Structure 1
Amino acid sequence: MRLRLLGAVAALLLVCGVAGSAAADTPSERPAAPAGTQAAASVQVPAGVTAGVAVFDRQTGTFTEQLNTGTQFRSASVVKLLLALDYFWDRAPDYSVPAADRAWLEPMLRSSDDKAASAYWSDHGGPAIITRMVRTDRLGLSDTAPPPAGYEGYWGYTALSARDTVTIYRYLLDKAPAPVRDFVMGNLRQSTRCASDHFDQHFGIAGAFDKPWAVKQGWSGSSFEKGTCGTPGSFVAKTDPTTGTTTDSTTGTTTDSAGTSAAAAAASVDLARPALHSTGTVGANDRSIVAVLTLHPTGTSYGKAYTDLGRLTRSLDVPGGVRPAGWWYGTWSDHVNVRPGPSTANPALTQLPAGVEVLVGCQKQGQRVDVPPYSNDWWAYLPQYGGWISNIYISTPDNRIPDVRDC
């Protein structure tokens, strides 16, 4: 069994220099809210994070959360919503999508494929796309602007705010022709966990709430390590031990880098700090529109930004949102494999972002895993991944996590 030196956190620090980082942050040890409950309205922004937040309840026609709603952020891949709408704008009355266009539109919306976005950007006027879409006779966006001079080729440098993001979704849901709404929102509901560049994109909204939800995420940062999510073209059947149901998952295939240049830091919109955004709808009939745009301190890792955005999103009052059952815990180490069963004999389904928080649904004993000087035969089931990780990588002092039920 694991040795106890100066406590598990200190001991893990001897094994790996970053091992104790998640455990030292006490919110990672708190259990999640019970399924079906809603936390009180209070935007909790982690230290060092700059955030723009808007939550709009379509049922009451009111905002339940507003923070820095007009602040401009570089859009990263959220701008792909505008590219898709620009594609459809003048296609009336026939909004059918030819197979050749479906082949790039669907990966762009579901898996945030950059090659598709770059091709459309270069073929349809680049910054002129944004200029068209902000007009009052189209979306009437107040804070959205094309990339700054010198960066016209960087679609991810488009300026965007939380309130404009809500406006985009309100247009999609309430004003867009039904075929356009159904195509765009239908693809956002099928967001793949693994994006085309192998970044895990089910952070923020997708981690904080049970389905139904629809998301378009965005990420951009030179400190974000290479994505390790999934394997190109993988197809895996997974069984949830809490329900006995089996589901299938597929992953994306290419790349999602909006680009970050140190030379761009002087632009009016911050183009240098790592950006991570979660936007979309939550609840039956897309009841709530949620926009969470964030910037993180220079050098922030993807796992850290992913965790901080998750905590912020879980603090929001989102009408219609159902919170998943389980307990949130930090993890340590790089490239932690998520497996279909509690054994290393099972091939990995995917790998976790380094040091990310995970929702643990239950735990059981399985194969012993050794990371000298520790050993652990308990495994945690991660319902949002449909797989298992060894408890040795969970930031908790015990082999068996005290407050997590057995599977």
Structure 2
Amino acid sequence: MLVITGAAEPVAEIGSRPALVATDLPATTTTRAPVDLGGQTGGATVGALVIDRTTGRTVLADGADGSFHSQSLVKLLIAVDALERGTGTPSQITKMLSASDDGVASALWSQGGGGAIVTRWTRRLGLTGTAPPSEPGRWGQTKITATDVARIYRYLTDEAPPAHRDIVLTALRAAPRVAADGFDQHFGIPSAAAGLGWAVKQGWACCLPTRDLHTTGLVGPDDRYVVVLLTAHPRGVPWNTAAATATRLAENVLAPIRG
């Protein structure tokens, strides 16, 4: 089993991002089993979870309750909160989720009361490993687990108002290779799930103290699988290397889906 540790605050290293290359669930009773991720961690700590929404079965789980900083994954909570409270427009939500725009996220975070957003949705969804950041303005330091991220996706697919669901999932399906900050966000699921179809929210930041790359979303026909892969790499690992490792791990995580 992999050991999970805390991750970094949302500080990116502008000059060392991956090169742009031409590559392309309400809660259920599940059966959990540890999985060997094939020794592909490259020194990273990992939390992984795959749930089959059709059967309710946990296909894969490793370190799913380990704690990470959310980085941009908290934008999922910012989005559903803004839509429900009417503090964000569909165009703002789309820009924040698809291009992972931090400016929009910061504005909606403030309008929604900052950490109160996390508190509201932690209570509502029963998120046991999620907590607001200790520094109110640093939304990327929200604490999360793979289990809780999967629960957020299950809310989106099974419980959210259809209009809100459509706005969020349409944005996640349209995530471009180049994010608003110039980062190549097609590491992990977008590269590993070629041919399966995906809707993703990614997260990345460095370096207090680790280099984080998170890849999460819905994969397969009718969004059948919830896939969450959280990774925290030593800060000395270059972005390109960490992204390649996250993609290899995603390939292993998705292997049970491909059969």
* TM range, smaller chain: 0.7 to 0.9
2:205 counterpart residue number: 220
Asked if the contact 1:276–1:305 (Cα under 8 Å) also holds between the matched residues in 2, the reply is yes
Shift, 1:147, TM fit: 0.5
> 1:316 is paired with a residue of what secondary structure?
helix
Letter in 1 for 2:157: L
> Is 2:223 the partner of 1:286?
yes
SS at match of 1:308: helix
Query: CA RMSD for the aligned pairs?
Result: 1.8
How far did residue 42 of structure 1 move? 3.9
**1:54-133 to 2 correspondences below 5 Å:** 54-90=49-85, 101-133=89-121
Give the TM-score normalised by the residue count of structure 1: 0.53
- 37, 59, 64: which is aligned to 1:43? 37
Greater relative contact order, per chain length (Cα 8 Å cut-off, separation 6+): 2
Contact 1:147 1:154 in 2 (8 A): yes
Alpha-carbon distance between aligned partners in 1 of 2:255 and 2:149, rounded to the nearest angstrom: 16
Q: TM-score scaled to structure 2, two decimals? A: 0.82
Which amino acid letter does the alignment assign opposite residue 298 of structure 1?
Answer: R
Number of aligned positions between the proteins:
223
1:187-245, Cα deviation, whole Å (9 max, x unpaired): 100111100000000010000012410000000014xxxxxxxxxxxxxxxxxxxxxxx
CA–CA distance in 2 between the matches of 1:201 and 1:296? 16
- Give yes or no for contact 1:214–1:280 (8 Å, CA) kept in 2: yes
1:204 and 2:188 correspond: yes
For 1:60, give the aligned amino acid: T
3-state secondary structure, aligned to 2:217: strand
Q: CA deviation at 1:292?
A: 0.3
Residue of structure 1 in register with 2:248 after alignment: 311
In the aligned structure 1, how far is the partner of 2:257 from the partner of 2:89?
34
State the shift of 1:294 in Å. Answer: 0.5
- Matched residue of 2:234: which SS? coil
- Unaligned stretches of 5+ residues in structure 1: 1-40, 92-96, 223-270, 323-407
Bigger CA radius of gyration: 1
Q: Classify 1:133/1:142 alpha carbon distance in 2 versus 1 (closer, same or farther; 3 Å).
A: same
Which letter does structure 1 place at the counterpart of 2:128? S
Work out whether 1:186 is the aligned partner of 2:166. Answer: no
Structure 1 residue aligned with 2:129: 143
Q: Distance in 1 between matches of 2:90 and 2:164?
A: 13
Q: How many percent identity over aligned positions?
A: 44
Aligned to 1:17: none
Aligned partner (choices 147, 164, 179) of residue 148 of structure 2: 164
Q: Tell me how far apart the structure 1 counterparts of residues 224 and 256 of structure 2 sit (CA, whole Å).
A: 7
- Mapped partners of 2:250, 2:130: distance in 1: 23
> Post-superposition shift, 1:47?
3.0
